[in-house]
Structure 1
Amino acid sequence: MTFKRVIVGIDGSRASNIAKEYAFIIGKHFDIPVVGMHIVDVRLLNESFLEDLAGALGFTYYLGISQRVREFLEERANALIEGFLSEGRQKGVKVSSFQTVGVPHEELVSQADPYDLLVVGRKGQRPVKGFFLSSTADTVSRRSKCPVLLVPEEERSIKNLLVAYDGREVSKKAISVGRVVANAFGASMRALYVGEEEIEAPQDLELVRLYGLPEEKIVSYCRQEGVDMLLMGAYSKGRLREFFMGSVTSFVVHHLDIPILLVK
Structure 2
Amino acid sequence: MTLQNILVPFQNIETGVQAFNTATLLAKHFKVHLNVVHIRQKFPLPAGYYYPIAGTYFQESMNAETAGAGRLANELKTKYEELCEQRGIARTGMGNHDESLGTTASWDDLYSNYSFAFAREARLADLAVVARTKGTPSTDNSAMIEELIFQSARPVLIDTAAGPIAEFPKTVVVAWDGGREAARALSAIIPMLKEAETVFVSSIGELEPAAALPERAAAFLRLHGIHALPNHPSVRKGQSREERFLEHAENRDADMIVMGAYSHSRWREVILGGFTKFMLHHANTPIVMAH
TM-score tier by shorter-chain length is 0.7 to 0.9
Matched, 1:5 2:1: no
Asked if the contact 1:36/1:95 (under 8 Å) is kept, the reply is yes
Secondary structure of the corresponding residue to residue 37 of structure 2: strand
Q: 1:68 to 1:179 in 2, by over 3 A?
A: closer
Question: Which structure has the bigger radius of gyration?
Answer: 2
Q: 1:90 to 1:117 in 2, by over 3 A?
A: closer
Secondary structure of the corresponding residue to residue 210 of structure 1: coil
Secondary structure of the corresponding residue to residue 227 of structure 1: coil
Q: 1:9 to 1:217 in 2, by over 3 A?
A: same
Q: Provide the residue aligned with 2:274 in structure 1.
A: 247
Q: Provide the residue aligned with 1:59 in structure 2.
A: none
Q: Provide the residue aligned with 1:33 in structure 2.
A: 33
Partner Cα separation in structure 1 for residue 280 and residue 139 of structure 2:
19
Partner Cα separation in structure 2 for residue 36 and residue 221 of structure 1:
34
Superposed CA deviations along residues 90-112 of structure 1, whole A, max 9, x for unmatched, are 48412112111333222211112
TM-score of the pair, normalised by structure 2: 0.70
Asked if the contact 1:3/1:117 (under 8 Å) is kept, the reply is yes
> Which structure 1 residue ranges, 4+ long, deviate > 4 Å from structure 2?
131-134, 237-246
Cα deviation for residue 17 of structure 1 reads 2.1
Q: Provide the residue aligned with 2:17 in structure 1.
A: 17
Cα deviation for residue 65 of structure 1 reads 2.4
Residue correspondences, number: 244
Asked if the contact 1:161/1:182 (under 8 Å) is kept, the reply is yes
Partner Cα separation in structure 1 for residue 117 and residue 45 of structure 2:
18
Q: 1:189 to 1:133 in 2, by over 3 A?
A: closer
Match of 1:101 among 105, 111, 122: 111
Partner Cα separation in structure 2 for residue 134 and residue 243 of structure 1:
16
Q: 1:149 to 1:245 in 2, by over 3 A?
A: farther
Cα deviation for residue 134 of structure 1 reads 5.6
Partner Cα separation in structure 2 for residue 81 and residue 240 of structure 1:
36
Q: Provide the residue aligned with 1:71 in structure 2.
A: 70
Q: Provide the residue aligned with 2:234 in structure 1.
A: 211
TM-score of the pair, normalised by structure 1: 0.76
RMSD (Å) for aligned C-alpha atoms: 3.4
Q: Runs of 5+ in structure 1 lacking a partner?
A: 48-61, 125-130
Match of 2:182 among 153, 163, 171: 171
Asked if the contact 2:176/2:214 (under 8 Å) is kept, the reply is no
Q: Provide the residue aligned with 1:146 in structure 2.
A: 154
Q: Provide the residue aligned with 1:229 in structure 2.
A: 256
Q: 1:243 to 1:16 in 2, by over 3 A?
A: closer
